[in-house]
Every structure is written in structure tokens, then in C-alpha cells.
Amino acid sequence: MISAQDFLILSVDISLVMLLLAFLLTIVRIVIGPTLPDRVLALDMLVAVGIGFIAIIGIKTGYFLYIDVAIALGLIGFLATVAFSRYVLNRGTVVDEGGDPEGNYNIIEIEIRQSAQSAQPASAQTVQGDS
Amino acid sequence: MQDVIYIVAALLMLVGASFALIAAIGILRLPDIYTRTHAASKAGTLGSGLLLLALAVFSQELTVVTRAFAAIVFFLLTAPISSHLLARAAYLAGYPPEPSTDIRGMAEYGPGQSKQ
């Protein structure tokens, strides 16, 4: 029977390995995409994994001041995700390989695209001019 | 008593790291952005929150515990906002859902109704 302290040290190591795997899998999603929102979501997940790393390192070393770093990192991650969401929203029509710029997915998508063009002709025209 | 605190912190840490790993697997395996949002926002937030809770249990200091709870509440408040904002932006920008998705219910919230 191992002591509680040994169990704590062992679970610190196991948790670090699991978080490393989570980090690598999230990086795979960032690299392969395929769309911009996927990458933004994976960056958000990366911030969450980084906060977990900080908490475990705080337990491992005993420097509890690390939790201030975790709070600051969470704030920055939230603001980055909100800013990227506004960017995705304002960029308008899909232009990367996740979608066809002409919008030929299915009937519902074509209807949505037509209603968007009739509702906002100015922004739709500028984006469509590039493609 | 110290042993109990060590064991509770170790279990919280293992469960939190498991949730973070499950969230990462979900981000990699799920088919489109709208389903991946579920994995990242729910399991990912719970994972980092449990790890911070393990730090709070392990420290046994009031200043660390209050800051850990402030961080957990902050994450629980902001994770749904950011993931909802991202999924909504992706939908309004026209990113297609998985073909098996039934989006008839979302059609009335489509791009035409977004910016009044």
C-alpha cells in the first residue's frame, strides 16, 4: 500500500502526461483545420489546457502564485475568442476550404445565402467581388 | 488529515486531466465545428476547473482558495459565451454543418436576421 504522498506525486505525473496528450491532439486540430472557426475553437481549448498545466505545476512546485497567471490567461483567452468570433462574423462569406464561396451545399444553405444577400446587399457585394 | 487532502487533490487532478483529454479527443473526432464546440466548452471548462479546484484543495490557504474559486466562476461564466459566439459567427458566415444535421429549426435565425 503506497502512502498518500506517493499517490499524489504519481497522479501529478499521470495528469501531466494526460494533459500533454490533450495538448498534442488539440495542436493536430489546429494544424489540419479545416476551417477558421475550427482553429479558433482549438486555440480556446489550448488555453484551457494551459490553465490545467499551470494548476498542476502549482501543485508540483508549491508556488501557489501561479493561480494569478491562470486567471490572466483565462481572461486573455476569452478576449481572443470573442475577437476572433467577431472577425469570423465580419469576414462574411466563407472563403477557405471549409465551404464553397458560391454556396452550393444544399437547398437550405442556398436559401440562407439568398436571404443574406437581399438583406445586406452592400457587404455581400464587397465580399463576392473577390471571388 | 493531511493524507485525506492529498488523496482528494490527487483524485480531482486525475479527473480534471481526464476531462481535458476527453475534450481534446472530442475536438479531434467530432465531425464539424458545431459539435466540436460542445467538447471544447463543456468538457474543457470542467477539466481546467477541476484542476484549479485541486490546487485550491492542496494549498489550504484562504487567499489561494478564494482566487481559485474566482477563476472557476470566471471560466464557467465566459466559456458558454465564447463558444456560443463562435458557433453563431460560424453559422452566420455560412460554414456548413455536417450533412446529417437537421438545421430546419435554425433557418429562421439565418444571416438575414442577424444585424438589424
pLDDT by residue (tens digit) across B54-84? 999 998 889 999 999 999 999 999 999 999 9
Q: Check A55 against B54: CB less than 8 A apart.
A: yes
pLDDT of residue A129: 42
Question: Residue A41: which residues within 8 A CB-CB, separation 6 or more?
Answer: B27, B33, B36, B37, B40, B83, B86
Q: Check A113 against B82: CB less than 8 A apart.
A: no
Mean pLDDT of chain B: 85
pLDDT of residue A117: 66
Retrieve residue A60's grid coordinates.
Answer: 508540483
Q: Check B94 against A64: CB less than 8 A apart.
A: no
pLDDT of residue A22: 93
pLDDT by residue (tens digit) across A61-81? 988 888 999 999 999 999 999
Q: Give contacts of A 65-124 with B, CB under 8 A.
A: 66-68, 70-71, 74-75, 78, 81-82, 84-86, 88-89, 91-94, 98-99, 103, 105-106, 108-109, 111-113, 115-116, 118-120
What is the DSSP-derived secondary structure letter of residue B115? -
pLDDT of residue B113: 47
Cβ atoms of residues B90 and B33 within 8 Å: yes
Once rounded to an integer, what is the mean pLDDT over residues B91-115? 67
Count the neighbouring beta carbons within 10 Å of the beta carbon of residue A20: 14
ipTM above 0.95, yes or no: no
pLDDT of residue A96: 53
pLDDT of residue A110: 53
Query: Domains of chain A, with CATH numbers?
Result: 4-91 (1.10.287)
Count the neighbouring beta carbons within 10 Å of the beta carbon of residue B87: 21
Cα-Cα-Cα-Cα dihedral of B32, B37, B38, B39, to 10°?
A: 90
pLDDT lower than 50: segments of chain A:
102-107, 123-131
- How far apart are alpha carbons A4 and A1 in whole angstroms? 9
pLDDT of residue B107: 63
Cβ atoms of residues A54 and B54 within 8 Å: no
pLDDT of residue A107: 46
Q: What burial class does residue A90 get, using C-beta atoms within 10 Å of its C-beta: 0-12 exposed, 13-18 middle, 19+ buried?
A: exposed
Concatenate the DSSP letters of all residues of B47-62 into one string. Answer: HHHHHHHHHHHHH--H
Domain range summary for chain B, segments of one domain joined by +: 2-96
How would you write chain A as a 3-class SS string? CCCHHHHHHHHHHHHHHHHHHHHHHHHHHHHHCCCHHHHHHHHHHHHHHHHHHHHHHHHHHCCCCHHHHHHHHHHHHHHHHHHHHHHHHHHCCCCCCCCCCCCCCCHHHHHHHHHHHHHCHHHHHHHHHHC
